[in-house]
Amino acid sequence: MIIAILIILAYLIGSIPSGLIIGKAFYKIDIREHGSGNLGGTNSFRVLGKKAGFVVTFSDILKGTLATCLPLLLSLFTDIQVNVNPLIFGVVAVIGHMYPIFAGFKGGKAVATSAGILLGHEPLMFLIIMVVFFLSLYLSKYVSLSSMIAGFAGLVYSIILWDDKLLIAILAILTIFVVYRHRANIKRILNKTEPKITWL
């Protein structure tokens, strides 16, 4: 029963549409009607600006972190121990982010929330992936390409240096999710029509 409640809670956390909330509350803009129509950080940067983009991205990261830490938080405030790998709850939050119940099941591309799982489970890996992401972003100016490269970097890192089969499997699944959700971006990159950032 407790596990089912945590799974539902993780999904609801992931479903919080940060971009939609920030856009409507502070800019009177529904970002689903502008730019790519996506609810994630990239479209928030494009439509709402740098400040809002960072807030949305950070919020989406925290969704993955909070969901992953749910068993730990439960054990800290109660005597209940959950014998389920916390990564599972992080993945459920990613599903919520991609298919949010609070936004018509049309959400973001899973990048920031996936990164949040690592922040909650393997902070060192999170930092390394962030370095790879921003280095790629600095060189290419493509957020989509940098997101996919960071995903692959995390997967390779986990295969080489971590003996955790579930972590490797989940990273592989998340990387596939990220690439699949960016398939339109891949076409635009190949056609040289993908927008580049101007703030880095």
Residue-range domain boundaries for the chain: 2-190
CA-based nearest residue to 61, from 38, 39, 93, 31: 93
Q: Would you say the C-alpha torsion 126, 131, 135, 141 has a positive or negative sign? A: positive
Question: Contact at 8 Å (CB) between 122 and 107?
Answer: no
* Mean residue pLDDT across the chain: 92
pTM of the model: 0.92
pLDDT digits (tens, 9 = 90+) for 121-164: 999 999 999 999 999 999 999 999 999 999 999 999 999 887 78
Residue 12 vs residue 198, higher pLDDT:
12
pLDDT greater than 80 at residue 44: yes
Cα(26)–Cα(8) distance, integer angstroms: 29
Position of tokens 């992080």? 90
- Does residue 51 have a pLDDT over 80? yes
- How confident is residue 195, by pLDDT bands cut at 50, 70 and 90? confident
Collect all residues with Cβ–Cβ distance below 8 Å to 176 and sequence separation of at least 6: none
